[in-house]
């Protein structure tokens, strides 16, 4: 056992010796890389299910106040999927922007209308994703299902991602009549 500890100490000493031989510029670059890695690692941590559900509830409330909304993807990338909602995609003045952070899987069409009689987005399960699409999502990813007006059953579109956030571009207009 002592021999094993001694080898580990020698290996660490060798590693430290090699690090100390590096130029100051390389050491600074490595330090910056490590800092950036830690930041990205923190960003990629999945949101808690409670926070995800709170965001979903806010999105669904906003959309429930609308009689019509068309959706299309504005960006699909490794770090995020951005979904734009507007009254008419021919004149795209976005009302809401929904961002899925660090996505892993997507099963969707590129354009659709929401069914305003149902919640637009809900948390789903890994099992439902696999059963409906044949796709899977890594543990730690939340599976979101989105509704579509043209779907005749409860099959939906799916996005698996670490988190979700939104930006309301056009706030709801509330008209109060005073008498």
Q: How far is CA 111 from CA 50, 86, 170, in A?
A: 29, 11, 20
pTM > 0.85: yes or no: no
- Over residues 52-78, mean pLDDT: 91
Mean pLDDT, range 94-116, rounded to an integer: 86
Report the pLDDT value the prediction gives residue 106, as an integer from 0 to 100.
Answer: 92
115-148 pLDDT tens trace:
677 888 999 999 999 998 889 898 889 999 988 7
Token representation of residue 52: 């995800």
What is the structure's pLDDT at 149? 67
Q: pLDDT-derived band of residue 179, with 50, 70 and 90 as boundaries? A: very low
pLDDT tens across 12-57, in order? Answer: 678 788 878 878 888 788 888 888 877 777 767 889 999 999 999 9
For the segment 60-80, the average pLDDT, to the nearest whole number, is 89
Q: How far apart are CA 80 and CA 99, in angstroms?
A: 6
Determine the Cα–Cα distance for residues 1 and 117; give it in Å rounded to an integer: 68
CA distances from residue 162 to 25, 98, 112 in whole angstroms, order as listed: 35, 14, 23
- 63 Cβ neighbours under 8 A, 6+ residues apart: 69, 85, 96, 114, 116, 120
């Amino acid at each position: 056992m002592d021999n094993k500890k001694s080898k580990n100490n020698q290996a660490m000493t060798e590693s430290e010796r090699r690090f100390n031989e590096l130029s100051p510029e390389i050491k600074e670059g490595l330090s910056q890389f490590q800092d950036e890695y830690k930041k990205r690692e923190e960003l990629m941590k999945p949101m808690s299910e409670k926070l995800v559900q709170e965001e979903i509830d806010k999105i669904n409330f906003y959309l429930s106040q609308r009689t019509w909304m068309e959706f299309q993807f504005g960006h699909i990338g490794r770090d995020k999927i951005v979904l734009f909602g507007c009254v008419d995609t021919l004149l795209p003045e976005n009302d809401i922007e929904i961002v899925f952070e660090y996505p892993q899987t997507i099963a969707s069409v590129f354009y659709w209308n929401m069914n305003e009689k149902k919640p637009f987005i809900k948390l789903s399960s890994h099992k439902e994703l696999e059963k409906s699409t044949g796709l899977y999502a890594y543990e730690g990813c939340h599976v979101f299902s989105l509704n579509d007006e043209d779907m005749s059953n409860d099959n939906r579109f799916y996005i698996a991602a670490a988190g979700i956030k939104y930006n309301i571009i056009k706030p709801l207009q509330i008209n109060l009549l005073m008498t």
